[in-house]
Amino acid sequence: MPPLQNNAATPETSPGAAGKPSARPRFADVGSRYYGILLASMAVIVILSNIGASKGVQFGPIVTDGGFFLFPFAYILGDVISEIYGFKMARKAIFTTFALSVFASLSYWVIIALPGFTDDYGIAKQHALVEALGPVPQIVLASLLAFLAGQTINSLIMVRLKARQGERKLWMRLMGSSGVGEFIDTLIFCTIAAPVIGIVGFGMFANYVVVGFLYKVGVQYLLVPVTTLVIGWFKRHEPTYAA
């Protein structure tokens, strides 16, 4: 069976600013093993981030949540997928991650609802599960809506810029798309998740939003050289990436 192809009617082939079609950007098909590995890694990171986000974390005056150290890597993977495989395959990865996160949340509900042992240990363990996983559905709702909006914008900016720039200025695509995508993601997530985490008052909320945004963008900007090297590796080793 031939490898799946990206459709030419996607943002990857949009005309340039002057109204003339820009050189067709290069993208790989998804027939190799690499796309599946990237997609699975993104899904695992987002699901673990959803669990960690149910815990409020404070470093002195800085307020964040337990998923703060993981989530930026989901966007880095989104950048890699967008640059290598294009918007359609990035959107597929986003929707697949969305669906798997919903499944994980439903699984938590079932686990909590199952009748447990009635001894002291069983009751204590049930209480711990409720406290740890109980808030997760609302956190998942916040994360999914934020991830869906932020990652879609992130990917769209990546491929729009690539349609104009070709293989040049990758650093600009990475930094520009991450800044906009992470701002949208952080604002949506913090607005919905703050009450569950225990963040109250405008000052604490503003701290949560600003710190979350600056941290996520800072990590991604700091890792731009690494992301560039990773993308370069995939471009060299992905068999279907056009020469």
Which residues have CB under 8 Å from 133's CB, separation 6+? 51, 54, 108, 111, 112
State the number of CA atoms in the 13 A half-sphere of 171 facing the CB.
Answer: 6
Average pLDDT for residues 220-226, to the nearest whole number? 91
- Integer CA distances (angstroms), 215 to 1, 25, 99, 170, 210, in order: 44, 31, 27, 21, 8
Average pLDDT for residues 167-175, to the nearest whole number? 89
Among 2-16, 39-53, 119-133, 177-191, the minimum mean pLDDT is found in 2-16
Largest Cα–Cα distance in the chain?
73
Task: Return the higher-pLDDT residue of 187 and 2.
Answer: 187
* DSSP annotation of 167: T
- Cα–Cα dist 241/225, whole Å: 21
Helix (H) or strand (E) holding 64: strand 62-65
State yes or no: pLDDT of 11 exceeds 50. no
Whole-number percent of the chain with pLDDT over 90 = 36
Among 135-139, 183-187, 207-211, 215-219, the minimum mean pLDDT is found in 135-139
Per-residue model confidence (pLDDT) at position 193: 79
Per-residue model confidence (pLDDT) at position 69: 85
Smallest CA-to-CA distance from 31 within 75, 84, 77, 73 is with: 84
Instruction: Scan for tokens 């471009």, then name that residue.
Output: 235
Residue 23's pLDDT band (cuts 50, 70, 90): low
Residue 7 falls in which region: left (phi positive, over 0), alpha (psi -120 to 50) or beta: beta
Average pLDDT for residues 143-160, to the nearest whole number? 90
- Cα–Cα dist 239/139, whole Å: 39
Q: Retrieve residue 96's tokens.
A: 């697949």
pLDDT in tens, 73-83: 988 999 999 99
Which residues have CB under 8 Å from 205's CB, separation 6+? 190, 194, 199
pLDDT in tens, 25-58: 788 888 778 999 999 999 999 899 888 877 878 8
State yes or no: pLDDT of 124 exceeds 90. yes
pTM, two decimal places: 0.78
